[in-house]
Amino acid sequence: MADHDIPLTLSASGLTRKYGNNTAVSDVSLSLHKGEIIGLLGPNGAGKSTMMKMITGNLAPSEGSIQVCGIDLIDDPIAAKTKIGYLPEIPPVYKELRVNEYLKLVAKLHKVSSKKIQVAIDNAEERTGLTEMSQRLIGSLSKGFQQRVGIAQAIIHEPEVVILDEPTVGLDPNQIIEIRSLIKELGKNHSVILSTHILPEVEAICDSVKILHKGKVVFDDDIDALRQFRSGKSIQVSFRNPPTQELLDSALDNVKITTIREGVYRISGRELEYDPTDDLVQISAHKGWGLFELVGAQASVEEVFVELTTQDSLQA
């Protein structure tokens, strides 16, 4: 978790947003420190976009407060927004402009002084790997480079907080790796909020994570805790003479068993301190099940969401 001696750049407290009788976000709080990257994760419809709109000042919360570098976003939105850089899911680029023309326009909109505009453009292009593309029409660039232009516009005024909404959607694997690397670099000089539905992306980039479900936080911890939750004491096993899932379940105590395919099961202890490996090996040898493969297994994204949202439903 963040060192609380490090300056706080964004603080959102008790954010709630209602649309009539529907509550899109319910009592969500968030603290972001300088140099920290927070992942905002959740399935579609979880409330991520509503959260992003509120903390960027594009949507007023029904309840709650937002401070950006100590400035109240609701009371003084113009001053607060100067501290924020934002990349929406669809980059707000003008494809008929050249990269440097577009960044000059954005710099003016952010009130960068005329004496500093060229330096700001050069710096943003260098940091996002766009220097050689400066004279190119944005419409002629690949989607990955257009995404870089979107990130460049978000940082051209050197904001303390950079907010990125689904920045790798629609990119090919090489472009995804490049954008993830760029975001990690941004985290060295800015505070970053990354909204995504891709769990491995959060694990690759972020320091901590909040997982939303139906507008509520169901997980809020650092990335190591997420990895532990995702893996737990979980194994994947394959048998030559496989038992049925019912027989396997009756032979092992305190485990959860999922059938992957015929003869292949995922087994996890219901308590984190219990590792079923030793018991399974002994029982398999005794029963003649022909255990021939045993590997550590990670929960899929879907399983993590199901586990967390089921817990949330049970607690409600």
Domain ranges of the chain: 8-221, 232-315
Q: Is 28:214 a contact under the CB 8 Å cutoff?
A: no
Residue 170 pLDDT? 87
Residue 2 has pLDDT above 60, yes or no: no
Q: Given 3.40.190.10, 1.10.150.120, 1.10.10.60, 3.40.50.300, which CATH number is that of 8-221?
A: 3.40.50.300
Residue 75 pLDDT? 95
Burial of 204 (0-12, 13-18, 19+ CB in 10 A): middle
Please state, for a pLDDT cut of 70, what percent of the chain lies above it.
Answer: 91
pLDDT tens figures, 109-156: 999 999 999 999 999 999 999 999 999 999 999 999 999 999 999 999
Average pLDDT, the chain: 89
Residue 58 pLDDT? 93
Residue 295 pLDDT? 82
Residue 289 pLDDT? 95
Average pLDDT over residues 154-183: 93
Domain 232-315 has CATH 3.30.70.1560: yes
Residue 315 has pLDDT above 60, yes or no: no
> How confident is residue 298, by pLDDT bands cut at 50, 70 and 90?
low
Residue 316 has pLDDT above 60, yes or no: no
Spatial distance between the Cα atoms of 29 and 37, rounded to a whole number of angstroms: 16
Q: In the sheet that 63-68 helps form, which strands lie side by side, from edge to edge? A: 22-33, 8-19, 63-68, 71-72
pLDDT tens figures, 17-45: 999 999 999 999 999 999 999 999 988 78
What is the 8-class DSSP label of residue 252? S
Closest CA to 14 of 23, 22, 5: 23
Residue 135 pLDDT? 97
Closest CA to 150 of 171, 286, 240: 171
For the full predicted model, state whether its pTM sits above 0.75. yes
Q: How far lies 198's CA from each of 14, 186, 221, 230, in Å?
A: 25, 19, 17, 13
Residue 1 pLDDT? 47
Spatial distance between the Cα atoms of 175 and 109, rounded to a whole number of angstroms: 29
Q: Is 254:269 a contact under the CB 8 Å cutoff?
A: yes
> How confident is residue 314, by pLDDT bands cut at 50, 70 and 90?
very low
